Amino acid sequence: MNPVSNAVRKILERQSKNIVAAAEEMPADKFGYKPTPTQMTFAALVEHTTGTNNFLCAQISGTSSPEEKLSENDPKEKLVSALKASFDYCTQALAKVDDSKLGESIPFFGGRQVSRAAGMITLGTAFADHYGMAAMYLRLNGLVPPTAKPKE
């Protein structure tokens, strides 16, 4: 039984589809959009989400993350492709993670150490945060977020 690891894998499966669909929904000419001058662009959000996925999944799984260099100035196709690849990497990296090592320390943002469980919880909350931001950016551009679309 691995209730925590299995739950994180289920969250990953669902949220990866939603976040990728949100990135695909935003037109390429709107990737430079930001709601206010102090917020990141949609492209920067995609870049940030990709990097967060790669970093957290590497730390949680103890594997090496992809080393793709991205910029918010990259074209939509490159950013969305890297985003998809980050979710594929997470799926592969987390496939063998189990609950037996949840208490072990892993490297975290800011050079801190946290438990593997904390890293997994952070990954799940990051998915929600990143999708929520993407959904807001879509709505502000007159588009419907993937989870708000009627079932087909």
Task: Encode the chain in three state secondary structure.
Answer: CCHHHHHHHHHHHHHHHHHHHHHHHCCHHHCCCCCCCCCCCHHHHHHHHHHHHHHHHHHHHCCCCCCCCCCCCCCHHHHHHHHHHHHHHHHHHHCCCCHHHCCCEEECHHHCEEEHHHHHHHHHHHHHHHHHHHHHHHHHCCCCCHHHCCCC
Give me the mean pLDDT over the 72-99 stretch. 98
Residue % of the chain over a pLDDT of 70: 100
Give me the mean pLDDT over the 27-35 stretch. 98
User: According to the model, what pLDDT value does residue 152 have?
Assistant: 77
User: According to the model, what pLDDT value does residue 27 have?
Assistant: 98
φ, ψ at 33 (rounded to 5°)? -70, 140
- Residue for token pair 């074209």: 75
- Asked whether the predicted pLDDT for residue 128 surpasses 90, the reply is yes
More confident residue, 77 or 152: 77
Convert the pLDDT of each residue in 77-87 to its tens digit: 999 999 999 99
pLDDT, the chain, mean: 97
Give me the mean pLDDT over the 1-17 stretch. 97
What domains lie within the chain, and their CATH numbers? 3-148 (1.20.120.450)
User: According to the model, what pLDDT value does residue 151 have?
Assistant: 83
Give me the mean pLDDT over the 109-116 stretch. 97
Q: What is the pTM of this model?
A: 0.96
> Environment class of residue 149 by beta-carbon count within 10 Å: exposed (0-12), middle (13-18) or buried (19+)?
exposed
For residue 15, give the amino acid letter. Answer: Q
User: According to the model, what pLDDT value does residue 132 have?
Assistant: 98
